[in-house]
Structure 1
Amino acid sequence: MKNKKKFIPVMLMPFQEDEKIDYSALNQLVEYYIRAGAQGLFANCLSSEMFNLSKEEMLKSVAFIVDKVNGRVPIVATGTFADTIENQAEFVKEIYTTGIDCVIVITSLLAEQTDSEAVFQKNVEQLLSLTADIPLGFYECPVPYKRVMSSDFLGKLVKSGRVKYHKDTSLDIENVKAKIVSTLEVADFGLYDAYMAHAVETLRAGSAGLSCIQGNYFPELVVWLCDNYDNLDREEEISLVQQFFIDNMDVMHETYPTSAKYILRQRSLDIGVYCRNRSESLSQDTKKQLNQLWDDFEKLSHRIGFSKRVIDN
């Protein structure tokens, strides 16, 4: 529980105005995350607009990220999409050949929303049996619906040695704590919480770290929280950072990921705000809210001791 906590950003996917992937901006993003202190990357995720990418684009972009990272941090990437379990297993194998460390499985794509827990567990076990010894992780992605894993089943899978990673979106701290307890015995597994409203509590409960959309706005602030969550001398600053994330939950979610790209432009990254999964542009009112968010971040940064934004160009 006292091991260093890690921030694993859910990577954005930058696009040009013609909606083609902007590989120059993607290269900038890789370096941006690493400079901020990220200790891993989650590629080809919901923040990457994975459901709006072709499989060819997924493979090419993930291979590009692996090449640019060049072993500096581990990389995980989603490898299951709506299809038969057999075909999902084949794509798991294919995306693993890009050189990633672990393939992420979407829980809601292994069973229909109306299927029982027994059906879900049977499908998970079938997928594991069809993917040899490839390291896997789970992501309780809210699309197409959210299927939260039980702590008992996750514990069983982790103890098998095949499962190395879990991105939790249950929004339930008691569920998170139960999962942590059920997996404590396995050293090479990490549970990463997505819900920043209880970030400090989940870190203190023993999670491996955080993997949240807020890291696409202010990654160094998430890293700071991972580094200082249990520092008794900084309780006041810890409370301020936790409250900042709670107070700004809505504005960071409302027009995401467009809004995150807007903030990154404020941070001098040459990245467009274009998104395949969002057709509308940011309204003037939304831009005003995001500008206020930026101002509040700068004030908080000075308050907790960021003398300068070392990751900005």
Structure 2
Amino acid sequence: MKELNKGFVPVMLTPFDSQGVIDYSGLEQLTTFYLEAGASALFANCLSSEMFALTSQERLSITKHIVDVTKGHVPVVASGTFEGSVESQADFVKAIYDTGVQAVIIITNMMAKEDESDVVFSDRVSALLELTGQIPLGFYECPVPYKRIISPELLGQFISTERIIYHKDTSLDIHQVRAKIEAGKGYRFGLYDAYMAHAVESLASGAAGLSCIQGNYFPELIVWLCENYHIPHLKPEIQKLQQFLVDKMEIMHKAYPSVAKYYLQKRGLNISTTTRGKAEGFTAEVKKDIDDFFLDCIRLQEELEIGLVI
């Protein structure tokens, strides 16, 4: 990615109409919302986008739509490795790159099965690099269908090829995060942490930014944290926000992404709560919890004097 200050990279949702058809008007509205909230880049066609429930053409279409809406104001990255041989994955990497993204993201669990070794994983990634010319790439430790964490040592080997410029970390381990950041020093590379329990620690350790589902509720708070985590006189406010992220983590994961779409409805976005996955768990009780959570977030933003986009 181009040189950026520490920033927030939303893991983008995909709006659908009530029949499960992609709502491109809603997607444009959502993209604009992220940009106006101060996002430094956008991660399209990711797990929050329900990428595994999209066809190959839909993956390309939503990515192209997001690139077109951003008009180059911020970089866009998008996942590019799914089922199939390394050769077919390479073909799709090229197709995604042709939409205008700045980097194509390798889904780590799509490169080797859960019972296959790091040697198998490494060999396939190496083959993918050879088949994709000089296309800038990144890694995403996607938790579905299983989570494949890259060791700092292996990540460092791939960074040294100067092809890997982006890493979305889901290790949940600040020691791993620090080691991976160290492995990328001196290279055109940025690590973006998904785990908000140590968001401030990650940023202070040299992470390029944050890329978390929390930004699908209150992106302004995540942007503010990225911009202010290091300012001494704001330490009480920073600690308050960090603790809020820890205390409210569970509620944001229940019935996700339907709950995030419901929350954004409350914020004024004209999108439905429809998903293509199982909507189990989006109960009246969960909805009431989100209603209360929404008020808590509004109060916190007012207390921190962080304006709302909508």
Q: What is residue 222 of structure 1 aligned with on the other side? A: 222
Q: Which residue of 2 aligns with 1:99?
A: 100
Match of residue 27 from structure 1:
28
Matched residue type, 1:9: P
1:191 and 1:215 mapped to 2: Cα distance? 17
Q: Which residue of 2 is the match for residue 198 of structure 1?
A: 198
- Residue 128 of structure 1 deviates from its aligned partner by 0.6
**2:126 alignment counterpart:** 125
Q: Following the alignment from structure 1 to structure 2, what is the Cα–Cα distance between the partners of residues 305 and 72?
A: 26
The total of aligned residue pairs comes to 307
Query: 1:279 offset after TM fit, Å?
Result: 3.2
Moved over 6 A (4+): none
- Secondary structure of 1:147's partner? coil
Structure 2 residues without counterparts, runs of 5 or longer: none
User: 1:288 is matched with which residue?
Assistant: 288
- Asked if 1:257 corresponds to 2:253, the answer is no
Q: CA deviation at 1:288?
A: 1.1
2:240 matched residue in structure 1: 240
What is the deviation of 1:255? 1.0
Q: Per-residue CA shift, 1:45-91, capped at 9, x if unaligned?
A: 00000000000111111111111111010000001002111111111
Superposed, 1:35-184 pairs within 5 Å as 35-184=36-185
Identify the range of structure 1 (21-30 vs 291-300) with the bigger mean alpha-carbon deviation.
291-300
Q: Secondary structure at the match of 1:300?
A: helix
Secondary structure of the 1:291 match is helix
Is 1:5 the counterpart of 2:26? The answer is: no
Provide the identity percentage: 51
Structure 1 unmatched runs, 5+? none
Q: Residue 137 of structure 1 aligns to a residue in which SS?
A: strand
Decide which moves more: 35-44 or 270-279: 270-279
Q: How much does 1:131 deviate?
A: 0.7
Tell me whether 1:270 sits opposite 2:270 in the alignment: yes
The one-letter amino acid of 1:260's match is A
Structure 1 residue 299 displacement after superposition: 1.4
| Residue 304 (structure 1) shift | 1.2
Tell me the SS of whatever aligns to 2:74: coil
State how far apart, in whole Å, the 1-side matches of 2:144 and 2:12 are: 17
Distance in 2, Cα, partners of 1:76 & 1:235? 32
| Deviation string, structure 1 residues 235-261 (Cα, Å, up to 9, x no partner) | 110011001110011100111100100
Tell me by how many angstroms 1:27 deviates.
0.4
Confirm whether residue 211 of structure 1 aligns to residue 211 of structure 2. Answer: yes
Q: CA deviation at 1:281?
A: 6.8
Distance 2:124 2:51 in 1: 22
What's the CA shift for 1:40?
A: 0.4
Deviation at 1:280, TM superposition (A): 3.5
Q: Normalized against structure 2, the TM-score is what?
A: 0.97
**Counterpart Cα distance in 2 of 1:110 and 1:205:** 29
Distance 1:101 1:282 in 2: 35
The Cα shift of 1:284 comes to: 1.3
Residue 278 of structure 1 deviates from its aligned partner by 2.3
1:207-228 CA distance string (max 9 Å, x none)? 0000000000000000010011
- Amino acid in the other structure paired with 1:285: E
Counterparts of 1:223 and 1:4 in 2: how far apart (Å)? 11
